[in-house]
Chains A and B, each alone.
Chain A
Amino acid sequence: MLSVLIWAPIIASLIIGFWPNNSIQPNRLRLVSLTLSGLILLWNLFILLKFDLSNPGMQFQEYLPWNETLGLSYQLGVDGLSILMLILNSLLTWIAIYTSSQQTERPRLFYSMILLVSGGVAGAFLSENLLLFFLFYELELIPFYLLISIWGGEKRAYAGIKFLIYTAVSGALILATFLGMVWLTGSTSFACDAVSTQTLSAGMQLLLLSGIILGFGIKIPLVPFHTWLPDAYVEASAPIAILLGGVLAKLGTYGLLRFGMGMFPQAWSTVAPTLAIWGAISAIYGAVVAIAQKDIKRMVAYSSIGHMGYVLLASAASTALALVGAVSQMFSHGIILAILFHLVGVVEAKVGTRELDKLNGLMSPIRGIPLISALLVLSGMASAGIPGLTGFIAEFIVFQGSFSVFPIPTILCVVASGLTAVYFVILLNRTCFGKLDNDLAYYPKVLWSEKMPALILAALIIFLGVQPTWLVRWSEPTTTAMVAAITPSEKTVISEVALK
């Protein structure tokens, strides 16, 4: 069942890439990919329906032996931590293909790479084997490099290489840590459930955990390792930016939760205070730097750094509530970032600039682009944490869950949330409001098909904001079980080790 999510896109990508006829029109290719990813999305929703809410463990497991010498097995499973990420992945893939331009150059490579990425990300979220996870994690490297540096903005070559190197370093760190985890614990297999780090000394656990944090911290990205992000997000075209920010960043936080917190419960409580402060610094930094930007895409990119800081805070707090908040924040950040990047892409395509100093009065009902501006206001508000929208729900759960553990970092994050509102107000004020320039304002019409993805995402944002059960119910049992594994049993684990 789960294999379909990985292999359908990968096989489709190979067929599209190697199709012998060279003269296929971009339009038709786009339709084919759109249908395919739509079907995968439906299949994913079907899995969501079948998902057993009372079971905190892995579901729909699949197992095939692969390479026993390496301890690599094809082992899949989905739980509350990954189910929403899977949906996010297939939803955003569909939207990215939908928003891709009808006249894309070299369409075969483009759609082939997008589908390959989609299958790879699904594989990473589903893997229950460390090495299999790493394989899928590294699989994204080259397709994303090509997607950025072929179909990007002016400085795309630089941004692509920078992304490539940062991600490759992150991969090397993660692989080193995985090798260490498996070998030092004396396990013969890389399967997640076969590795138990409890037997290691505290110092060793800390060392390995810091490898995980640094490796995934580059991908999330945490503040000193974030410098690839503004370049990559800004230079990538809108559909690619949606995938990059919406899906790929989640791979980092997911890895941190699954392999950091899930596999090092003891060491995690030691580093948690540091992580909480780190998350708060990330959030404040992202917000402050976003205020200073003059380019709306860059603003949105920095907002992403800030929002991922909240996830880090919540994971550090690791109360049941905070973890639900972390997963919700990952999902809602994914859809909010997607709608923002899409709208920014539409504005750039219609108006021809992304500069705050040149944009003005887009709200004007006749000659402006009013619906897009309205949606931009809505999504800016969602990002800033206005109640009634999904961003508020997620952030509120995060703050509520973390306050009891780390009050000061939580307050800092609330301040950062306020600063988010500041720069979004700046953004909206300078783009949507004001007066149109009479000489330049002859914008092309926004087609209905271009508004569609934004409307769908906006509906989703409002729905999940009003009816948040649908956001949180999936991850509750799993996160509760994870927290139970950390806190109360900590003493028993230590006593067990002492007894040995």
Chain B
Amino acid sequence: MDFANLASQLNAGTILPEGIVITTLLGVLIVDLILGRTSARWIGYLAIAGLLAAVVALYYQWDAVNPISFSGGFTGDDLSIVFRGIIALSAVVTILMSIRYVEQSGTALAEFIAILLTATLGGMFLSGASELVMIFISLETLSISSYLLTGYTKRDPRSNEAALKYLLIGAASTAVFLYGVSLLYGLSGGQTELSAIANGIITANVGQSLGLVISLVFIIAGIGFKISAAPFHQWTPDVYEGAPTPVIAFLSVGSKAAGFALAIRLLTTVFPMVADEWRFVFTALAILSMILGNVVALAQTSMKRMLAYSSIAQAGFVMIGLIAGTEAGYASMVFYLMVYLFMNLCGFTCVILFSLRTGTDQIAEYSGLYQKDPLLTLGLSISLLSLGGIPPLAGFFGKIYLFWAGWQAGLYGLVLLGLVTSVISIYYYIRVVKMMVVKEPQEMSDVVKNYPEVRWNLPGLRPLQVGLVVSLIATSIAGILSNPLFTLANNSISHTQILQATTAEVSTVSLKEPEQL
């Protein structure tokens, strides 16, 4: 194999965005080593600049002629680009939040950012990985960094406990995932690349065999853990409560997006033979997640725990698009994850701001906040109402598109359940709004009575404010001006080759259904 041939096989240009992130990561580490703590003032901005450069590089890779690189190990198609963008942006906002938060906890910022960037890197590679080993390595890179981030505030016993819980459950579920993956390798006659596995399974004639089903179930267990779908959700509430808040913000958006990217790629490429089976399993997961997430969230007193259950429920909504399996279904998932980025990060920014100023995150302590901090009240109200799907906010359009795609695919029961649980979710989201807005001045909690004067010029608060305002504006108008985002989501699906075959098949099936009624 001569060099030119090798270079074209490698096609290393596709991972330019990740290359930029790696360089930034090393830059952050080295600067920290040389300059020590004094660099903490600007090192965050360096990382943000690197991530934004990676997003720009992603933009130029849109509709790449030859997306397959590293001899099939990595696919830089439009689907992966959208998900890599979501993950990189969620890391940007997370860094904006964490500058002040990590400083205040007395730990080193550069180390934190380095681990966060590694997690970002793992997530970005996972979105495009199309080979079993590559998938596993990037999944592990993401997971191990997440364990470290969860236990980052190591003097806080709750953070330690959360990290331990996350590690034990995470490692176990990765092992289960690995077992499923190794089964795939064996079943397909020794293939590791996803499309080759699909062909290998057909030639070996093991389609719909017990082995394939077992490997499917084991892989779903691993994916379900990442997207925190019930019943693989048990870590979520505890980790969300214990971990530093910026970390949760990243886990709830970046890590979840990576999980969904993996789900789409793996399930549609490798398991078309057992498509009915994995749709069935995911239907069960979606039903459980929507019910459990929304109902248990009603009974929470801590803001972070409530958001944990809400994120389980939101994963249930997103799964409707995955189960639909049509082009609109996948596009609605992508769209929902994009708006989920804005609303969840806006919400978490407000939670961080509140806990930075008062040191608590109990829901009852928010009462009467509108008087002391109107911007925080507005941001949190808008993001929670958007999560609940109130028009004309971004979440409303996201949910409508999910339900519309689900209905088109004939998933009447799931959509109805989604509607019912949305009504339930409005109740617990509005409870926080009620605390902040409706309560009279004399019902103010003690914490709010002693609320420090709002000052934005303290170190590290300005980036928080920028993050809050940008995500707040995006949450408010991303629904009304949703056309570009819709086009982006739809193109990312329709330009992706691996999905073309499966969606065409499914949509012809689902078109027939209504006539039978």
Chain A contacts to B: CB under 8 angstroms: 66-67, 69-70, 109, 131, 134-136, 138-139, 141-142, 145-146, 149-150, 157, 160-161, 164-165, 168-169, 171-172, 175-176, 179-180, 183-184, 186, 201, 204
Contact = CB atoms under 8 A, between A and B. Distances in A.
A183 B514 contact: yes
Contacts of A161: 427, 430
Contacts of B434: 149, 157
B64 interface: no
A165 B438 contact: no
Given A70-B401, A184-B514, A176 B427 contact: no
A69 B490 contact: yes
A307 B251 CA distance: 54
Contact of B486 (A67, A135, A138): A67
Interface residues of B, number: 34
B336 to A, nearest CB: 13
B508 to A, nearest CB: 15
Interface in B408-427: 408, 412, 415-416, 419-420, 422-423, 426-427
Nearest to A169: B423
B430 A164 contact: yes
B416 A176 contact: yes
B487 to A, nearest CB: 8
B438 A150 contact: yes
B112 interface: no
User: Lowest 4 CB-CB distances: which A-B pairs, in order?
Assistant: A172-B419, A179-B407, A168-B423, A135-B391
9 contacts: A139-B392, A141-B390, A149-B438, A164-B426, A165-B423, A172-B419, A176-B419, A179-B404, A184-B514
B482 A67 contact: yes
Contacts of A179: 403-404, 407, 415
Contact of A186 (B391, B401, B438, B514): B514
Contacts of A145: 430
B385 A183 contact: no
Contacts of A164: 426-427, 430
A69 B327 CA distance: 12
B404 A70 contact: yes
A205 to B, nearest CB: 12
Contacts of B422: 168, 172
A180 B407 contact: yes
Contacts of B391: 134-136, 138-139
B437 interface: yes
B407 A138 contact: no
B4 interface: no
B483 interface: yes
A150 B319 CA distance: 37
Contacts of A136: 391
A146 B483 contact: no
A195 to B, nearest CB: 14
B278 interface: no
Given A70-B400, A138-B391, A139-B391, A157 B419 contact: no
A150 B328 CA distance: 41
Nearest to B441: A105
Contact of B483 (A67, A109, A139): A67
A343 to B, nearest CB: 28
B412 to A, nearest CB: 8
B503 to A, nearest CB: 15
A184 B423 contact: no
Nearest to B371: A106
Interface in B370-423: 385, 390-392, 396-397, 400-401, 403-404, 407-408, 412, 415-416, 419-420, 422-423
A142 B514 contact: no
Contacts of A168: 422-423, 426
Contacts of A69: 328, 331, 401, 486, 490
B517 interface: yes
A139 B404 CA distance: 19
Contacts of A135: 391-392, 396
Interface of B: 328, 331, 385, 390-392, 396-397, 400-401, 403-404, 407-408, 412, 415-416, 419-420, 422-423, 426-427, 430, 433-434, 437-438, 482-483, 486, 490, 514, 517
Most-contacted residue by chain B among A134, A149, A172, A186 (CB, 10 A): A172
Contact of B396 (A138, A146, A149): A138
Given A146-B438, A172-B422, A180-B407, A131 B400 contact: yes
Nearest to A172: B419
Given A70-B401, A141-B390, A180-B407, A165 B427 contact: yes
Nearest to A164: B430
Nearest to A138: B391
Given A138-B390, A169-B423, A176-B415, A184 B403 contact: no
Nearest to A179: B407
A183 B426 CA distance: 26
Contacts of B486: 67, 69-70
A184 B385 CA distance: 30
Contacts of A134: 391
Nearest to A17: B378
A21 B422 CA distance: 36
Contacts of B392: 135, 139
Given A138-B390, A149-B438, A183 B396 contact: no
Contacts of A165: 423, 426-427
Contacts of A172: 419-420, 422-423
A204 B517 contact: yes
B476 to A, nearest CB: 10
A339 to B, nearest CB: 29
B390 to A, nearest CB: 6
A442 B486 CA distance: 65
Contacts of A146: 437-438
Contacts of B328: 69
B438 A142 contact: no
Nearest to A190: B404
Nearest to A131: B400
Contacts of B437: 109, 146, 150
A64 to B, nearest CB: 12
Contacts of B430: 142, 145, 161, 164
B107 to A, nearest CB: 37
A202 B407 CA distance: 20
Contact of A184 (B404, B427, B482, B517): B517
Nearest to A168: B423
A70 B390 CA distance: 17
Contacts of B514: 183-184, 186
Contacts of B404: 70, 179
B438 A157 contact: yes
Given A70-B400, A161-B427, A183 B407 contact: yes
A149 B483 CA distance: 35
B388 to A, nearest CB: 9
Most-contacted residue by chain B among A161, A168, A186 (CB, 10 A): A168
A204 B517 CA distance: 8
Contacts of B482: 67
Given A69-B331, A135-B392, A172-B422, 7 more contacts: A67-B397, A69-B401, A142-B385, A168-B422, A171-B423, A179-B404, A179-B415
Contacts of B483: 66-67
A205 B404 CA distance: 19
A327 to B, nearest CB: 27
A179 to B, nearest CB: 4
Most-contacted residue by chain B among A67, A131, A139, A184 (CB, 10 A): A67
A134 B403 CA distance: 14
Most-contacted residue by chain A among B396, B397, B433, B438 (CB, 10 A): B438
A253 B331 CA distance: 36
Contacts of A150: 437-438
A184 B430 CA distance: 34
A57 to B, nearest CB: 28
Nearest to A174: B419
A201 B401 CA distance: 27
